[in-house]
Amino acid sequence: MSQKYVIGNYKLNPASQQDALTLAQNLTPSACVVGIAPSILHLSAIKSVLADGIALGVQDITHKSADVGAFTGDVSATQVKDMGANFTLVGHSERRQYHGETDEILSQKIAHAFHAGLSVVFCIGETKDDYDQKRTQQVLSAQLELLTPFAKQIPLDTDQTLPKLIIAYEPVWAIGTGLTPTLAEIECVHNFISETLSTLQIFAPILYGGSVNDQNATSFAQSPLIDGALVGGASLKTDRFAAIITAFS
């Protein structure tokens, strides 16, 4: 079986550092690669309690600079790498939607992350309207297009815990809604993503995200086309997240 990945995206949760530490302290290394992207505020405290082998990431980095500069309120790839982060999310639909992140911005973020030595979990996905209009493949291929200039920077093999690039397919309509595509639909989309990536000469694991929970994880984990999961809500519940990790291990 190929390597599987389970990554928790804490989003703007929890309200206290102590609760974030409790979640992180309960994580143990597993046969699948486990990672979490907590609030950037909690990064350093979590780093000090996280078990070896668990990847630590951030949910965002600035597109303005790879390292330093006069960008009030921003946090750079170099700074988070220095604080011990291994990866950053890029392109999450909540960033695209609420912060107007365009392809140009996302591509700058990817360049900065690679420059600083961070892996990138690149999130893509269609809206409900796109899904209803059967435009999913069209939307995803446009979203993947911005990876073209990075192809040569993404090694085929890596001895790192995390590959340099991971794709997370997250239908926007499945995030936080309790709805998911059928397994067959996800497999069809993952197959399409994999074919699109290979035409770009890029090889990356493809995770599914959007309402993954302890109930549906087992069937997703059994699919050879699903390399893991990006988990939001369920990553904030120790027992549910553990069950998802077990399913992919």
In the complex, which residues of this chain contact ligand PGA (CB under 6 A)?
9, 170, 175-176, 209-212, 230-234
The beta-strand segments (E) located in 96-190 are: 119-124, 165-169
Q: Nearer to ligand PGA by C-beta: 13 or 65?
A: 13
Q: Which is nearer to ligand PGA, 178 or 224 (CB)?
A: 178
Least Cβ distance, residue 71 to ligand PGA (angstroms): 26
- Please say which residue, 36 or 116, places its beta carbon nearer to ligand PGA: 36
Query: What span, in angstroms and rounded, lies between the C-alpha atoms of 35 and 7?
Result: 5
Give every CB contact of residue 58 below 8 A, 6+ residues apart in sequence.
37, 40, 43, 75, 80, 85, 87, 88, 89
The contacts of residue 222 (CB under 8 Å, 6+ apart) are none
Task: Name the residue number minimizing CB distance to ligand PGA.
Answer: 232
Q: How far is the CB of 63 from ligand PGA (least distance, A)?
A: 20
Q: Which is nearer to ligand PGA, 35 or 232 (CB)?
A: 232
CB of 247 to ligand PGA, least distance (A): 14
Q: Is 99 a catalytic residue?
A: no
The DSSP secondary-structure symbol of 239 reads H
Q: From the candidates 42, 92, 112, 190, give the one annotated as an active-site residue.
A: 92
Question: Which position among 94, 101, 126, 170 bears the catalytic label?
Answer: 170
Give strand pairing partners of 123. 168
Instruction: Write the DSSP symbol of residue 176.
Output: T
Catalytic-residue membership of 115: no
Least gap, CB of 230 to ligand PGA (angstroms):
5
The DSSP symbol for 51 reads P
Which DSSP letter does residue 174 get? Answer: G
If you count them, how many residues does the chain have? 249
Please choose, from the candidates 183, 197, 196, 195, the residue with its C-alpha nearest in 3D space to the C-alpha of residue 226.
Answer: 183
Catalytic residue IDs:
92, 170
